[in-house]
Amino acid sequence: MKHLLIAAGLTACLATGASAGVLDNVKQRGFLSCGSNTGLAGFGLPDDKGVWTGLDVEFCRAVAAAIFDDPTKVKFIPLTAKDRFTALQSGEVDVLARNGTWTQSREAELGLNFGGVNYYDGQGFMTRKKNNISSALELNGASVCVQQGTTTELNLSDFFRSNNMKYEGIAFATADEAIKAYDSGRCDAFTTDVSQLYAEKLKLVNPDDTIVLPEVISKEPLAPAVRQGDSQWFNIIRWTHYAMLNAEELGVTRANVDEKVKSPMPEVRRLLGVEGDFGKGMGLTKDWAYRIVKHVGNYGESFERTVGENSKLKIKRGLNNLWSKGGLQYAPPVR
């Protein structure tokens, strides 16, 4: 199936020439086409009613809310790690919000732009408790299951090489097969981004027999990506995230946004479009940020609902806390 996708992507490469702006295309089409994970709890996963949920999914809903004032006008296209960039490059999706790492080569060589980092992640390991180890530095000689087609294999190799340790890596096409192999005892450890470790752990037969080791062996700033060459669209993607962050910082929530419109605070008034018209430059209405908060909520709400305390994953805010609370999430001001 994924080869078909690549083929479809290449065909699209052959077919499409220069096109109008992405925003115009999206408006004309009537919905946003969002590349998402094939199924990763907390980030992008259809629930039992077929409704997509997750941090990346809510980001796409926020973009749709800003454009259409309707968070449901999104079509989610599940993409494997291997196909995702081809699908974005070929124009099959408008934005790729699929826990993708922002790296230099992906911007310089693949022709992509990464928006605001909506999750600061890093690669880690999980292993069985009965192995009795408390650090990834004790994994010398271990067999490690890994999902192929990501930078994960490169980081894994780097980690063992730089610590002068041996390992056996078994690479699988999908995370599902990799986690099954780990569960059957083929591997001593499973490695991927820490956020994903917590999600995959839930799929194990006995999730409590496995622990996530403390080491984080790579920097993985996860950010939504767009094609280069359309600055307006890139601004919309980047500022959707910043709007959610600013809302959290200013205390604007889904519940109180209608009251906050009456707030005397100039920053809040500018953000919600009461003063000035900051959406115009991006081809949006002036209440673009109001729409985002009204339909989806601020970043903190979205985080807790999808991956944090109110979810099954129970991941702590940590690096993803606001800069004012010891984290890395920092948004430039709307003015």
Which residues are at the interface with other proteins (CB under 8 A)? 6, 9-10, 13-14, 16-18, 81-82, 85-86, 89, 105-106, 108-111, 131, 139-143, 145, 148-151, 153-154, 156-158, 161, 166-174, 177-178, 180-181, 184-186, 188, 227-229
Distance CA(314)–CA(35), nearest Å, equals 25
C-beta of 292: minimal distance to other proteins in Å?
29
Phi, psi of 189 (to 5 degrees): -145, 160
Distance CA(195)–CA(124), nearest Å, equals 9
Phi, psi of 45 (to 5 degrees): -160, 130
* Shorter beta-carbon distance to other proteins: residue 204 or 261: 204
- Contact between 167 and 158 (Cβ < 8 Å): no
Phi, psi of 99 (to 5 degrees): 25, 55
* Shorter beta-carbon distance to other proteins: residue 12 or 319: 12
Distance CA(314)–CA(195), nearest Å, equals 10
* Shorter beta-carbon distance to other proteins: residue 228 or 232: 228
Q: Where are the alpha helices (DSSP H) in the chain?
A: 2-15, 22-29, 55-68, 84-89, 104-108, 152-162, 175-183, 194-201, 231-249, 257-260, 266-271, 288-295, 299-306
C-beta of 21: minimal distance to other proteins in Å?
15
Distance CA(188)–CA(183), nearest Å, equals 9
* Shorter beta-carbon distance to other proteins: residue 228 or 263: 228
* Shorter beta-carbon distance to other proteins: residue 113 or 306: 113
C-beta of 67: minimal distance to other proteins in Å?
23
* Shorter beta-carbon distance to other proteins: residue 52 or 167: 167
C-beta of 131: minimal distance to other proteins in Å?
8
Give 316: exposed, middle or buried? Use CB within 10 Å, 0-12, 13-18, 19+: exposed
Mark residue 314 as left, alpha or beta (left: phi above 0; alpha: psi -120 to 50; beta: remaining): left
C-beta of 26: minimal distance to other proteins in Å?
19
* Shorter beta-carbon distance to other proteins: residue 86 or 320: 86
Q: Residue 288: helix, strand or coil by DSSP?
A: helix
C-beta of 185: minimal distance to other proteins in Å?
5
C-beta of 2: minimal distance to other proteins in Å?
10
Apex 250 CA angle, 276 and 317, nearest 5: 135
Pair of tokens at residue 169 = 């890596």
* Shorter beta-carbon distance to other proteins: residue 178 or 236: 178
